[in-house]
Structure 1
C-alpha cells in the first residue's frame, strides 16, 4: 500500500523587488536614525551604573546602561545621514532643512562679504575634521552639514548622493 502526501506549495519567501528591509521609506529611516542619535549620545538616567550601586552596593532601583555609545565621528556621520533623510522625507522632518538654511544664511547674508554655500560647506567640513565635538554637537553639525552640502552642489553633493544611492540599492526609499 502506497500513501502519497500532497503538500501545498509554501508561500515564496524572499526579497521582493530588492527591498531587503521591507517597506521602510525615507520617513522611517529618518525616524530610526533620529532614535540612534538620541540613544547614542545621551547619558543614561541612572548614571550609567558606574557608581557604588553598580558594584553591588546599595541603590534603589534599576540602573540604566548604555550598550553602544556613539563617538564624535560616528555621531556626525549618522547626523549627515539623518539630515539627508530629513530632506527627502519632508513632512515634520523639514526642521533639519530649516536649521541648515538658518545656519547658512548667517554666512551668506552679506555680513561676511561674498560668501556662498560652497564657503559654508568648507567651513562645516573644516569644523568636522579639525575639532572633536561632543557627540551631541557633532550630530547637530552633521544634520546641518547635510542640508548645506545638498544645496551647495558640486563635490559637496557626494555624501547625499552616496547615502541615497545606498538606500535605494537596498530598497529603503
Structure 2
C-alpha cells in the first residue's frame, strides 16, 4: 500500500497575510466588528433573536472584555490611519483634558491612563460602553507613553508582522 503525500502551497504577496489592507482598512474592519458585535439588530425580537426566525439575529456577540480590547486595537489603528479617523484621537484628548486641565489638581496623562485601566479592569461595562472606553484608552495611552505605550506597540507589531499595516 502506497501513501501519496501532497503539500498545499500557501503563499503571501510580499509577506502580507491578509493581502493589501492598510491602516485605514484595518480601522474600517475593526469598526465593522465593533458595530456588528455590540449592536442588537433591528427586528430581532429579543436578546437571543427570538420572534423573527433567523432574520436579524446576531451570530456572535462581543463580551465586554472582547469589546474593550477590540476598541483598543481599533483606537490604535485610528491613530495610525489618520484622515477621518483622527476624530477618535480628539475624543481621547477631550476626555484627558477634563482631568489634566487643573480642575483636579496636578494630574497628568499617566493618572488618566491609570483611571481608564482601573475602569477597564474592575468594571464590566456593556459591550458598547466597553468599546468606547477601549477607543478612548488607546488614544490616551499612546500619548501618555511609558508602560502605557505597550498595548500600542504590541498591536502595531502584530499588525506589521501579518502585513496588515
Structure 2 unmatched ranges of 5 or more: 1-8
Deviation string, structure 1 residues 118-173 (Cα, Å, up to 9, x no partner): 00000000000000100000000000000000000000000000000000001111
Q: How does 1:14-93 map to 2 (within 5 A)?
A: 14-47=11-44, 48=46, 49-51=49-51, 53-54=52-53, 63-93=55-85
TM-score by length of 1: 0.86
1:133 maps to which residue?
125
Where do 1:155-170 residues align within 5 Å?
155-170=147-162
CA RMSD of aligned residues (A): 1.4
CA contact (8 A) 1:79 1:141 kept: yes
CA contact (8 A) 1:45 1:63 kept: no
**Pair 1:150 & 2:147 matched:** no
Q: Does 1:109 align with 2:116?
A: no
Answer yes or no: is the 8 Å Cα contact 1:75–1:138 preserved in 2.
yes
Stretch moving more, 12-21 or 141-150: 12-21
Aligned equivalents of 2:131, 2:12: Cα separation in 1: 33
In structure 1, runs of 5+ residues without a counterpart are: 1-11, 55-61
Say which SS state the counterpart of residue 31 (structure 2) adopts: helix
Q: Distance in 2 between matches of 1:109 and 1:102?
A: 10
